[in-house]
């Protein structure tokens, strides 16, 4: 057999040679550094035999797939430790996830506590030092059912597999688990890990089923990586938007409306700044702004496909004996706007933008501050264009995403989500062509992207934009979804250059995504210290002595307001030190202290958030300074983290 390496070199492989044997042929040092291999795009354990010719790549700790393999193996190590400590424990699933791993476990009558995690960690370290080999074996369905006869959860997984399915198990020491793999070669590779939290998780995600214990953890290849992750987690606790939202007076959630956020005055002011900026940018990019109703009839949702594919997430009601639904998405409304008049090819591309309020039913256990709510505003746009315009329109959109995300100093990467395996509309040829168009637009603009097979919307493939905040955490926000199906369902047309009716192509597009979620993200990204242009209150004025300095403070307040600067005078009876600390706690960009000198010289002395330095300037200089900072949308503080 012959294998082609990444550098183009071709090497010969004999029967019964494994990935490790191939690694040694390339270099001894590479063999020591490798944890798995990839052949023709599929991952294998390093000990697996090479069974075919093809493209070969060794996976090391530097490879993209490495953390996933390590964390999956760490989940097994944790399960082995638990099996030795808690003899009655039964295991369900234990996958690697984007930021670590978890395992769902039935502990029977035992109630696990946070302090028990240290005991499990200690046992894991003991097993890691034993350097137990992690061995893969393939067995039949009958053998698998016999092996896991005492584990209800594993038996349920096995029963749902095809009769002739290849079933693999992994063993280390006395522990065996049902798993597809691959894994690291032995437990000694799993040295740096931390068990993080305990949570409840219903079996199969159904609240009608038994609640299992879910243990989350993370594993890394180096001590430094683990320390950084722990730092980020601690920093994230300080930045938690729910905590900051309360402290800064941004939003609240009431028991009268779980999942339905209330905007407080500061939060509403923050939102207004984002909305104003959003409208300005969309005006510059030739979008036409619309507003569609919040409740529309069942017939519309049947035509769009939402009634059949999304009804469990929709709130429904009856009006005059007809079924209606509160909209979970804005797209059908935009289509009705498009169809309300005739269109020529000269009208296209037609870009309809909408800050549309939508409602979706989320499970109560999934609700999380502003990150997961039941009522939110989507910064939607629906673009109708010709086939010839499509590639240019997507390329133009990609530049718009750059412009908007860079304003908040947010990095991102792109994921192309392709056709779901089932529960989709439209034929395969349309899907394939749509996926190809999205990929080619990314390549034309120099944008790299990853493939996420089967995760497209039910009506079309999409580009998902994964934002990275200043701590490296990843958030799903923007999306571009190519849709050739809904224009067909709603009979959308335009008159082409030949005078004939033609079907437009539709792009669904959101950049910030949910306004609520985005506000939560930037609250944590900036740790509540919003850039001056966004800050609910940009200036706080503190008279040293209310009796002598309050008049000048209020004159200054009036002048700043005339220059569209958001300002508060704190002339309460509290001591100056207390009022200064309160201004810092509220993360006010500029705090002005007004005393005799400032009043006599018609000046201000300011302190910028994040510094102890006090600077005296004329009123005019300060107004120009802050107006320039607002215009440039400069950061208030350095976002660089450890």
- What is the set of active-site residues? 331, 360, 378, 380, 382, 462, 508
**From residue 565, how far is each of 430, 532, 539 by CA, in Å?**
52, 10, 8
The strand pairing partners of 232, in sequence order, are none
**From residue 143, how far is each of 4, 79, 149, 166 by CA, in Å?**
37, 21, 10, 11
Structural element, H or E, at residue 52: none
**From residue 196, how far is each of 82, 199, 228 by CA, in Å?**
15, 10, 14
Listed in sequence order, the residues at least 6 apart from 240 whose beta carbon sits closer than 8 Å to its beta carbon are 369, 524
**From residue 564, how far is each of 385, 537, 554, 561, 570 by CA, in Å?**
39, 11, 15, 5, 19
The strand pairing partners of 43, in sequence order, are 38
- Two tokens, residue 163: 């009769």
Kindly report whether the peptide bond that precedes residue 139 is cis, defined as omega within 30 degrees of 0: no
Q: How far apart are CA 268 and CA 249, in angstroms?
A: 10
Sign of the dihedral through C-alpha 50, 54, 58, 62: negative
Cα angle vertex 103, ends 414, 81, to 5°? 130
Rg (CA), the chain: 29
Which string of b and e fits 555-580 if b means at least 16 CB within 10 Å?
ebbeebeeeebbbbbbbeeeeeeebb
| 133 within 8 A of 173, measured Cβ to Cβ | no
**From residue 601, how far is each of 299, 303, 562, 570 by CA, in Å?**
70, 70, 21, 21
**From residue 105, how far is each of 82, 118, 228, 305 by CA, in Å?**
9, 17, 28, 38
Inter-residue long-range contacts of 153-161, CB under 8 Å, 24+ positions, other chains counted? 153/90, 153/91, 153/92, 153/93, 153/104, 153/106, 153/203, 154/91, 154/92, 154/178, 157/93
- Two tokens, residue 32: 């020591």
The strand pairing partners of 100, in sequence order, are 97
Pairing between β-strand 54-60 and β-strand 2-4 as defined by DSSP bridges: parallel
Question: Cα-flanking dihedrals φ and ψ of residue 338, to 5°?
Answer: -60, -45
Kindly report whether the peptide bond that precedes residue 278 is cis, defined as omega within 30 degrees of 0: no
Q: How far apart are CA 419 and CA 417, in angstroms?
A: 7
- Two tokens, residue 243: 């905590």
Sign of the dihedral through C-alpha 602, 608, 609, 610: negative
């Amino acid at each position: 057999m012959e294998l082609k390496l990444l550098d183009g070199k071709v090497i010969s492989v004999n029967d019964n040679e494994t990935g490790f044997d191939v690694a040694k042929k390339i270099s001894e040092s590479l063999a020591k550094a490798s944890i798995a291999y990839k052949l023709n795009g599929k991952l294998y354990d390093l000990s697996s035999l090479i069974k075919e010719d093809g493209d070969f790549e060794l996976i090391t700790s530097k490879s993209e797939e490495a953390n996933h393999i390590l964390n999956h193996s760490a989940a097994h190590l944790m399960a082995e430790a638990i099996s030795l400590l808690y003899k009655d424990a039964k295991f369900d699933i234990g996958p690697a996830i984007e930021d670590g791993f978890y395992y769902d476990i039935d502990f029977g009558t035992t109630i696990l506590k946070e302090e028990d995690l240290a005991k499990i960690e200690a046992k894991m370290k003991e097993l890691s030092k034993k350097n137990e080999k992690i061995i893969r074996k393939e067995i039949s369905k009958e053998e698998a059912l016999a092996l896991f006869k005492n584990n209800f959860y594993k038996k349920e997984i096995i029963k749902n597999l095809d009769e002739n399915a290849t079933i693999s198990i992994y063993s280390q020491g006395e522990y065996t688990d049902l798993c597809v793999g691959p894994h690291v070669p032995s437990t000694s590779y799993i040295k740096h890990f931390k068990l993080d939290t305990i949570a409840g998780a219903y079996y199969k995600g159904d609240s009608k089923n038994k609640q299992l214990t879910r243990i989350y953890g993370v594993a890394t290849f180096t001590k430094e990586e683990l320390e950084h992750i722990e730092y980020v987690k601690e920093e994230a606790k300080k930045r938690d938007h729910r905590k900051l939202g309360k402290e800064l007076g941004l939003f609240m959630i009431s028991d009268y409306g779980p999942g339905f956020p209330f905007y407080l005055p500061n939060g509403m002011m923050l939102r207004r700044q984002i909305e104003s900026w959003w409208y300005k940018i969309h005006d510059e990019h030739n979008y036409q702004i619309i507003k569609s109703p919040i409740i529309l009839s069942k017939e519309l949702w049947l035509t769009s496909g939402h009634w059949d594919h999304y009804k469990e997430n929709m709130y429904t009601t009856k009006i005059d004996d007809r079924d209606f639904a509160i909209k979970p998405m804005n797209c059908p409304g935009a289509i009705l706007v498009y169809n309300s008049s005739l269109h020529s090819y000269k009208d296209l591309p037609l870009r309809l933008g909408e800050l549309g309020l939508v409602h979706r039913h989320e499970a109560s256990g999934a609700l999380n501050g502003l990150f997961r709510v039941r009522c939110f505003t989507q910064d939607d746009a629906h673009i109708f264009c010709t086939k010839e315009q499509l590639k240019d329109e997507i390329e133009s959109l990609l530049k718009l995403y750059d412009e908007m995300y860079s304003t908040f100093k947010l990095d991102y990467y792109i994921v192309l989500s392709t056709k779901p395996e089932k529960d989709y509309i439209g034929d395969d040829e349309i899907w394939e062509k749509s996926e190809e168009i999205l990929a080619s637009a990314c390549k034309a603009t120099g944008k790299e992207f990853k493939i996420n097979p089967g995760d497209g919307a039910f009506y079309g493939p999409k580009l998902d934009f994964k934002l990275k905040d200043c701590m490296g955490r990843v958030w799903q926000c923007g999306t571009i979804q190519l849709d050739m199906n809904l224009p067909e369902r709603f009979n959308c047309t335009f008159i082409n250059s030949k005078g004939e009716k033609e079907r437009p192509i539709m792009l669904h597009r959101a950049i910030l995504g949910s306004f609520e979620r985005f506000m939560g993200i930037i609250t944590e990204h900036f740790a509540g210290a919003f850039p001056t242009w966004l800050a609910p209150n940009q200036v706080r004025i503190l008279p040293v002595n209310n009796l002598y300095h309050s008049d000048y403070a209020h004159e200054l307040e009036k002048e700043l307001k005339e220059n569209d600067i958001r300002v508060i005078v704190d002339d309460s009876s509290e001591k100056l030190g207390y009022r200064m600390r309160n201004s810092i706690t509220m993360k006010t960009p500029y705090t002005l202290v007004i005393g005799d000198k400032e009043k006599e010289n018609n000046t201000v002395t300011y302190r910028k958030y994040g510094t102890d330095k006090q600077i005296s300037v004329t009123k005019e200089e300060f107004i120009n300074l802050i107006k320039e900072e607002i215009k440039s949308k400069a950061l208030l503080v350095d976002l660089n983290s450890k």
